[in-house]
Structure 1
Amino acid sequence: MITFMLAIVFLIIGYLTYSKVVERIFGINDNDETPAYTRADGLDYVPMSWWKGSLIQLLNIAGLGPIFGAILGALYGPVAFIWIVVGCIFAGAVHDYFSGMLSLRHSGEQYPTLVGRYLGKTVRICINFISIILMILVAAAFTAGPAELIAQITPLNFMTAILIIFSYFLLAALLPVNKIIGRIYPFFGAVLIFMAVSVAIALLFTDRQIPNLTLANLHPGELPLWPLLMVTISCGAISGFHSTQSPIIARTLKKESDGRKVFYGAMIAEGVITLIWATAGMTFFGNTTGLQEALAAGGTAGVVNEISTTLLGTLGGVLAILGVIFLPITTGDTAIRSSRMMVIELLNNGFKKMKGINDKTLIMTATIIVTVPAFFLSLIDYAFLWRYVGWTNQVVATVMLWTGAMYLLKNNKPHWICSVPAMFMSAVVCMYIFYAPEGFNLNYNLALIIGSILTLTIIGWFIKQIITQRKDNEQASKVA
C-alpha cells in the first residue's frame, strides 16, 4: 500500500513542480491571441474554458487506455509503478504539453504538419500516413468491443451496433466541437475519474493486500520487461495517440497559460487513473498468475467488470458497462475527427485547386476517407488490430518528442526535457519491432543488438543537429 500511495503523491508533485519547469522552458505569453479567436470558424476553432478543455482532453486521450493497458501491464507486477510514474512525469506529460502548445503556436496545426516544420518534409510525409493509419486502427479497435457488449445486453445484433456507432462517429466528426464533444464529454470525463477514485477507495478498505514495490519481473508468461512493458502501458505513461488529439483542444484554448493545466494536467490525471487500475489488477486476484487466469477466462473487459462489481456492487456494474461501452466510443470518434483534420491538411492544396470543391465538401470527403476503412477493419479480430496499434502508437510518440527537442534546439532553449525521453523511447520502439511477434520476431538478444545500433544512429543524428545549430549561432553572433 505504501508504494501505491507514494506513487500517487509523486505524480501530484510532478504536476506541481516539473510542469512549471516545462512551461518556463517552453515560454508562454498570455498577451498573444490564441487560434480559438484568431481563426474562429464555429466548427473546430471555438473558445472553451480550461476546465472543460481539461475534461475533454482527458477523455480524448484516455478512453479505455488507462484501464485496459494498466491491467495488462499489471501482469509484470509492481515494477510497473515505476514506469507509470517516471514515464508520465518526464515523458508522457511533456509529450502532451509540446504537442498541444506547438499546435497552439502554429494556428492549431495537426501533428504531422508540426513534425514537418521541425524534422523536415520526408519525415512529415512518412508520419502523416503512419498517424492517419494509427487513427483508423484506434477507431476500429475501440469499436468492436462496445458493439459486442451492446449485442449481448440489448436486442441489437453486432452489425446493427457497429452501424449505430459509426453513424455517431460521422455526426460527431462533422458537427462543431462544442455541440457534442463540448457538451457531453466533460460528463464522461468525470465518470472516468469517479470510476477510478471509487475503485481506489474500495481497494484501500479491502482485506486484499496491495503489493509494494519489487524490481522483479513477475509476468507469468515470462515475457521480458524491456521493452514490452513500455508498449503495453502507453496511456498513463506516454502515448503517441495523445499528440493527435491535443490539437483538437489547442484550437479551443483561451490563453497560453491554460496549456499547462489542460495538456500536462490531463496526462497526470490519466497517470493516476492508470496507477489505480494497475494496482487493482495486481491486488484483486491475489497475484499476477491469478490475474492472467482471469484474463484468459473473461478477457480484459471481464476483468474490469469483475473488479468493479465486486468492489462497488451495483454502482460498479453500471460504471463498468458505461466504461466498456462509452469510453472506447469517445476515443473512436475523436480519432475519426483528428484523422479528418490530418487528411484535410494533407490534401487541402490539391482540393483547393479543383473547381467546385468548397470547405464543406472537403470536410465531408476527408471524413469518409477515414471512416470507411475504419468501419471494415472493425469487423475483423480485435486482438489482431491491437497488436499493431501498440508499436505504431509509440513510434508516433517518439517522433513527437524529437519534434519538441528540435523546436527547443532551434530556439536556443534547453532541449533535454524532450531529447532525453526521446532517446529512451527511440530505444523502446527500435528494439520492440525486432523482437515482437507482429514485428520481425527475432531472438531477444539479437533484437536488442539491432535496436541498440539503430538507437545510437538516431542519437548520432541529433548530436549532428546540435553541432549544426551551434555553428549557426556562432555565425549569427559574428554577423551581429
Structure 2
Amino acid sequence: MNSAVVGLIAFFLLFLGYKYYGGLIERKVVRPDDSKKTPAHRLYDGQDYSPGKKSLLFGHHFSSIAGAAPIIGPVVAVYNFGWGLGAVWIVVGAIFMGAVHDYLSLMVSVRNDGNSMADVAGKVMGKKSKKMFAIFMWITLVLIITVFGWVAAKTLATKPEIVLPTFLLLPIAMLFGFAVYRLNVPVSVGTISAILLLLGSIYLGYKVPILLPFALKTNMILWFTALMGYALVASVLPVWLLLQPRDYLSTFVLFIGLAVGIAGLLVTHPEINAPVFTGVMSGQGPVWPTLMVLIACGAISGFHSIVSGGTTSKQLDKESDGRVIGYGGMIMESVLAFIALLAVSAGLFWNPPAGMEQFGFRTLFEQKGWIVAFGTGYGRFVEPFIGISLGTLFAMTMLKTFIMTSLDTSTRLARFIFTETFGENSNILKNKWVASFISILPAFILGVTGSWQGIWTLFGASNQLIAALSLIVVSAYLIGVKKPAKYTLIPAGIMLITTIVALLYKIYSDLILAPEPKYFIVLVALVILYLAIVMMREARDIFFNKKINVENNM
C-alpha cells in the first residue's frame, strides 16, 4: 500500500476530528467565555502564573506533551503487531479520547485556579482520592525524569554531533524570551532570528562534535548528572524566560521536521512493506490491551493531563485559546506518531532486499534500538532534500530537543504536585528549590544505579491509567456542574478496563511465565492496581449518589 496515500487519509481524518468533534466539545461542554479572567491573570506572579501568547503557549504545551513517547510507541507497536491496527488506534484514539482528555483536563484546571487534576479530584471525590492520585502522579513523573534524562544522556554520549544544538538552544531561547516579553520585539522578527540561530547551531554541531574523553558508561553518567542539574535550575526559572520560548522554538524544529518529512513522504511515496498485522500475540503480550498501551501518547496519555493541569493552565491567556492548545496539541502529536509509524513501516524494509540490509527495520530495531530505527527511516524519507545521513541526524536532533523539554517540564510539574500535596503545612516543603530537589534526587539515584530499567515496563500501563483516572475526575466534575459527561465517561471506561487488564497480564507474565519471578515488579503492579480500585470505588459512590459539590464555573 502506498505510504503517501495512507498518510494523507490519516492527516485529513485528524483535521476533521479537530474541526468537528473538537468544535462539538467546545460548544457542548466548555463554552469558553473570554470575559472571565484566567488564572494566568487573576493569580499572576511572574513565575508560574503568567499569560502566554497563544503561539508560544501552544509551543510549550506541545513540546512538553510530545517528548519521545509518540515516536517510540508506534515504532515498538509496528515491530510487535504490524502497522494496521496501530494506524487505526492513533487516529480514532486521538480524536475521541486523547484530544478530549487533554482539552477538558486543561479547561477544568483553568476553571479551578490552574490546579492539578489531583487537586480537582480532592474537590469532587474527597481528600483520600487527592492524596493517592497526587502520589501516583508524582511517582510517574519521577520515572519520566529518570528515563528521559537517561535517554538524553545516552544520546549525548553516543551522538556528539547533537551536543552543541542541544545546549545552544537554551541561551537562544532565553534571548528570544527576553526580546519578546521585555523589549517588545515582534514575535515574527524574534522567531525568524531565533530559528536561524538554531539551524546554525545544528550545522555547527555537525561540524564540531563534542565527545567527552572517557569510557561510554562514564560519559553517560556525567551527562546524566549535568542534565539533572539543568532540570533542577530550569524548573524554578520564570516561565517567560526559558519554558515558553524554549518550547515554542522546539515546536518550530518539529514543524520543520514534520514539513520536510511529509514533503519527503509525498516525493518518495514508498510502499508500506511491513505486514498489516502479524498476529494476536507478540513478545510484549496479546494485541489487546498491549497495542493500546504501547502506542501510548500517540493516541492518549495521562501525562498530558499532568501538563494541562500543571503548567499550561497557569499560562492560558483567554479561554478561547484552550481548544487550539489542548485539543489541537494532541491532534498534532498524533500526526507525529503517524509519521513515526510510516518511517519504519515504509521508510525501512521488513525483509530487506540484497544490498539493502542496512535498512532492515527489525535488524536496526534489535541491534541499535528504536531511536536509530526511526532516524534511519526518516532519513530515507527526506533523502531527496538533505540526504540520508543529515536527515537521520536531524531526526535524532528533533527527538532530542523534545526529550529535553519533557525533562524539565516534568521536574516543574513534580514540584507543583509535591507542594500541593505535602507543602500545605510546611514552609520548607513549599520552597520551590526544596520541592524540585526532592523530585530530582530519586530520579538521579534510579538513573545512576540503573534501577529504573526493571520497572519502567509498567509505566506504559500506569500512564494510561492516569488518563483513565483523569477522565473519571473530569466526568465527576462535569456531573457536578450539570454538563454532559458522556464524552469523557465512555473513554474513561475503555481506558480503565484496558489498563487493568494490562496490569493483570503483567503480573501473570512476571509471576508465572517468567523463568524467574520478578517479585518487585509484581509488587509495584499490585500497588498501581490498588490505586485504581480505590479510585474506582470513590468514583462509584460519586456517580451513583450524584453528591458532587463544586462551584458551577464550567
Scaled to the shorter chain, the TM-score interval is 0.7 to 0.9
1:205 and 2:209 correspond: no
Distance in 2 (CA, whole Å) between partners of 1:438 and 1:56 is 40
Q: TM-score, normalised by structure 2?
A: 0.77
Distance 1:296 1:415, change over 3 A: same
Kept in 1, the 8 Å contact 2:379–2:391? The answer is yes
Q: 1:367 aligns with which of 410, 432, 436?
A: 436
Kept in 1, the 8 Å contact 2:73–2:297? The answer is yes
Give the aligned partner of residue 242 of structure 1.
304
Distance in 2 (CA, whole Å) between partners of 1:414 and 1:393 is 25
TM-fit CA distance, 1:219: 7.0
Distance 1:244 1:345, change over 3 A: same
Distance in 1 (CA, whole Å) between partners of 2:102 and 2:508 is 27
1:126 and 2:132 correspond: yes
Give the aligned partner of residue 300 of structure 1.
370
TM-fit CA distance, 1:85: 0.8
Kept in 1, the 8 Å contact 2:75–2:341? The answer is yes
Give the aligned partner of residue 11 of structure 2.
8
Amino acid at match of 2:303: F
Give the aligned partner of residue 96 of structure 1.
102
Give the aligned partner of residue 184 of structure 1.
246
CA deviations on 1:301-327 (whole Å, 9 max, x unpaired) are 111232233333244133133134332
- State the number of aligned residues: 460
Distance in 1 (CA, whole Å) between partners of 2:220 and 2:275 is 42
CA deviations on 1:128-158 (whole Å, 9 max, x unpaired) are 1110000000010001122122122233222
Distance in 1 (CA, whole Å) between partners of 2:541 and 2:373 is 49
Kept in 2, the 8 Å contact 1:433–1:440? The answer is no
Give the aligned partner of residue 155 of structure 1.
211
Q: Alignment partner of 1:205: what SS?
A: helix
Kept in 2, the 8 Å contact 1:145–1:324? The answer is no
TM-fit CA distance, 1:64: 1.2
Q: 1:233 aligns with which of 286, 291, 295?
A: 295
Kept in 1, the 8 Å contact 2:21–2:95? The answer is yes
Kept in 1, the 8 Å contact 2:298–2:334? The answer is yes
Q: 1:34 aligns with which of 31, 38, 44?
A: 38
TM-fit CA distance, 1:469: 2.6
Give the aligned partner of residue 142 of structure 1.
148
TM-fit CA distance, 1:29: 1.4
Per mean C-alpha deviation after superposition, the further-off stretch among 308-317 and 107-116 is 308-317
Distance 1:434 1:181, change over 3 A: same
1:442-461 to 2 correspondence within 5 Å?
Answer: none
Distance in 2 (CA, whole Å) between partners of 1:213 and 1:82 is 14
1:400 and 2:481 correspond: no
Give the aligned partner of residue 50 of structure 2.
46
Distance 1:202 1:382, change over 3 A: farther
1:348 and 2:348 correspond: no
CA deviations on 1:362-402 (whole Å, 9 max, x unpaired) are 11110111011111112216643531321221111110000
Give the aligned partner of residue 112 of structure 2.
106
Distance 1:19 1:159, change over 3 A: same
Distance 1:242 1:471, change over 3 A: closer
Give the aligned partner of residue 469 of structure 1.
546
Per mean C-alpha deviation after superposition, the further-off stretch among 299-308 and 400-409 is 299-308
CA deviations on 1:318-361 (whole Å, 9 max, x unpaired) are 31331343321211111000000111111222214xxxx596xx
Distance in 2 (CA, whole Å) between partners of 1:461 and 1:37 is 34
Per mean C-alpha deviation after superposition, the further-off stretch among 266-275 and 19-28 is 19-28
Distance 1:464 1:122, change over 3 A: closer
Per mean C-alpha deviation after superposition, the further-off stretch among 199-208 and 68-77 is 199-208
Kept in 2, the 8 Å contact 1:118–1:407? The answer is yes
Give the aligned partner of residue 269 of structure 1.
332
Amino acid at match of 2:23: K
Distance in 2 (CA, whole Å) between partners of 1:458 and 1:68 is 29
Give the aligned partner of residue 446 of structure 1.
none
Give the aligned partner of residue 316 of structure 2.
253
Kept in 2, the 8 Å contact 1:53–1:252? The answer is yes
Kept in 1, the 8 Å contact 2:142–2:442? The answer is yes
Kept in 1, the 8 Å contact 2:316–2:322? The answer is yes
Distance in 1 (CA, whole Å) between partners of 2:548 and 2:53 is 43
CA deviations on 1:429-449 (whole Å, 9 max, x unpaired) are 110001026976568xxxxxx
Distance in 1 (CA, whole Å) between partners of 2:548 and 2:461 is 36
Distance 1:136 1:463, change over 3 A: closer
Amino acid at match of 1:155: L
Kept in 2, the 8 Å contact 1:137–1:385? The answer is no
Amino acid at match of 1:58: F
1:316 and 2:378 correspond: no
Q: Alignment partner of 2:71: what SS?
A: helix
TM-fit CA distance, 1:45: 0.5
Kept in 2, the 8 Å contact 1:146–1:329? The answer is yes
Per mean C-alpha deviation after superposition, the further-off stretch among 321-330 and 461-470 is 461-470
Gaps of 5+ in 1: 444-453, 473-480
Distance 1:22 1:219, change over 3 A: same
Q: TM-score, normalised by structure 1?
A: 0.88
